[in-house]
Amino acid sequence: MKLGVVFPQTEIGTDPAVIKDYAQTAEGLGYEYLLAFDHVLGADPNRPRKLTGPYTYKDPFHEPFVLFGYLAGVTQTLELATGVIILPQRQTALVAKQATEVDVLSGGRLRLGVGIGWNHVEYQALNKNFGNRGKRSEEQVILLKELWTTELVTFNGKYHTIEAAGLNPLPVQRPIPIWFGGSADAALRRMARLGDGWMSSSRLPDENTETVLNKIRAYLQEAGRDPATFGLDPWIVIGKHPESEWLELAERWRALGATHLGVNTMRAGFTSPQQHIEAIQRFKEIVAV
């Protein structure tokens, strides 16, 4: 089970030196990946057609592809994972290009987590349809794989048309691994057909999580795929669990088949980047036994 850190997007600040220090410390501690959340815009939760998600315009977010371009140059082994890029609010060919650039600059260290999101304000601002985002995302994933593996692509889908065009350079990984977020049944079927793993936002490794995993494994078998080749990447939110529970939670995730496990230090009451660094140091000491 690989251990990773959830980049503390909303609390780390904007100093490039601090961001570099955090990533290099995580790498030096032996963490194998860094996962970053994605939001383009935050909104006023009390606006008309209220938002019910966990973030607002008060929460700062670094853009993952730009962030990873920077981190690619200051790290050497750390896998860079998006958790998750809100794919349907972005242009597919541009995502393919941006992901390719990160993969090239990092020497093949990108893992692209994708999802459909909940923030309809972002979709409106980016001129994308919120209502059909699930259906479009499936075609987007198919097209991404085509663009990453074929020099010249001709694609005529319901939502995309490309005539004899392609990316140059192509990525190091062909294709770049695509992992899915979400737990709705449609999302589970989609990831079983097209994905390499599930980025689980489940708060606990409990019976409900096991039920979802059993569904995914059944859908994988229906699609003719081996469940053993499909990854699972949850995270432990240390602001909700005391230090005494970390090892037990990690072992419970391992027993459920987790291939990756991240530590999320946001909303733990920290007031400085150094406290986030100290927290990932302590987590590694306890869990990596």
**pLDDT greater at residue 36 or residue 203:** 36
pTM over 0.85: yes
163 class by beta-carbon count within 10 Å (0-12 exposed, 13-18 middle, 19+ buried): exposed
Instruction: Identify residue 125 by its one-letter amino acid code.
Output: A
Give the C-alpha distances (Å, rounded to integers) separating 24 from 35, 85, 148: 14, 23, 29
Q: Which domains does the chain have, with CATH numbers?
A: 2-287 (3.20.20.30)
pLDDT digits 0-9 by tens, 210-265: 999 999 999 999 999 999 999 999 999 999 999 999 999 999 999 999 999 999 99
- Report the range of poorest mean pLDDT among 33-37, 157-161, 180-184: 180-184
Query: Do 137 and 88 form a contact (C-beta atoms < 8 A)?
Result: yes
